[in-house]
Amino acid sequence: MRWWDIDQVLELEKDLFPEDAWSRGMFWSELAHARGAEANRRYLVAEEEGRIVGYAGLASSGDQGDVQTIAVARTHQGTGLGGRLLTELLRVATAFECHEVLLECRVDNIAAQKLYERFGFEPIGFRRGYYQPGNVDALVMRLTTDRTTEDRTTEDRTTEDRTTEDRTNEEKDHG
């Protein structure tokens, strides 16, 4: 993801996370941490015929990775794109030498939980009222890193993934 992708990403963001969409400033801030020698974020977009149809981001801190967000356009959900984006994020985690990857997910987001479980993430706890203003709990999931590497999916890519930059920490993670 690059700054010029933000307009399209925001359109998807508002549609897919209507209660707690990230702002333009949040994306800019995230992308600011995705460049240079000290980069500790990586943001990806998936494109089809020049349109962004999915995006995802990972932050690393020490040996821990965090899935910051992952999203697929409604028109492309259930096609395996979420799995391809997550595969790429886990490759990024390996490149950052993360030993574990954590994420938060709304407790009512069954599609996302199924995706994460398929990749070996396990529930480790809850964060009560994490998502506001709806006061929805987050399920915290973790993947320990001897599993963050290759052996998951080697699905073919029908979309082009390209990398980006990053943001700050005030917003609630979507992934």
120 belongs to the binding site for ligand COA (CB under 6 A): no
Q: Which of 14, 24, 114, 162 binds ligand COA (CB under 6 A)?
A: 114
Q: Do residues 88 and 57 lie in contact, with contact meaning Cβ atoms separated by under 8 Å?
A: no
The enclosing H or E element of 113 equals: helix 110-118
Q: Which is nearer to ligand COA, 24 or 118 (CB)?
A: 118
**Whole-number Å distance between alpha carbons of 121 and 124:** 9
Q: Which of 13, 33, 131, 175 binds ligand COA (CB under 6 A)?
A: 175
Using CB positions, name the residue nearest to ligand COA: 82
The per-residue DSSP string of 75-106 comes to GGTTTTHHHHHHHHHHHHHHHTT-SEEEEEEE
- Taking the complex as a whole, how short is the minimal distance between the CB of residue 63 and ligand COA, in angstroms? 22
**Whole-number Å distance between alpha carbons of 20 and 132:** 7
Q: Which is nearer to ligand COA, 20 or 100 (CB)?
A: 20
Q: Which is nearer to ligand COA, 39 or 136 (CB)?
A: 136
- Taking the complex as a whole, how short is the minimal distance between the CB of residue 38 and ligand COA, in angstroms? 27
Q: Which of 82, 101, 141, 165 binds ligand COA (CB under 6 A)?
A: 82
> Mapping DSSP to helix (H, G, I), strand (E, B) and coil, where does residue 115 land?
helix
Total number of residues binding ligand COA (CB under 6 A)? 21
Q: Please state the separation of Cα 60 from the chain's center in Å.
A: 12
Nearest to 162 by CA among 27, 53, 32, 36: 53
Beta-bridged to residue 66, according to DSSP, are 59, 102
Q: Which of 64, 109, 153, 163 binds ligand COA (CB under 6 A)?
A: 109
65 belongs to the binding site for ligand COA (CB under 6 A): no
115 belongs to the binding site for ligand COA (CB under 6 A): yes
Binding-site ranges for ligand COA (CB under 6 A): 16, 70-72, 77-83, 105, 109-112, 114-115, 118, 174-175
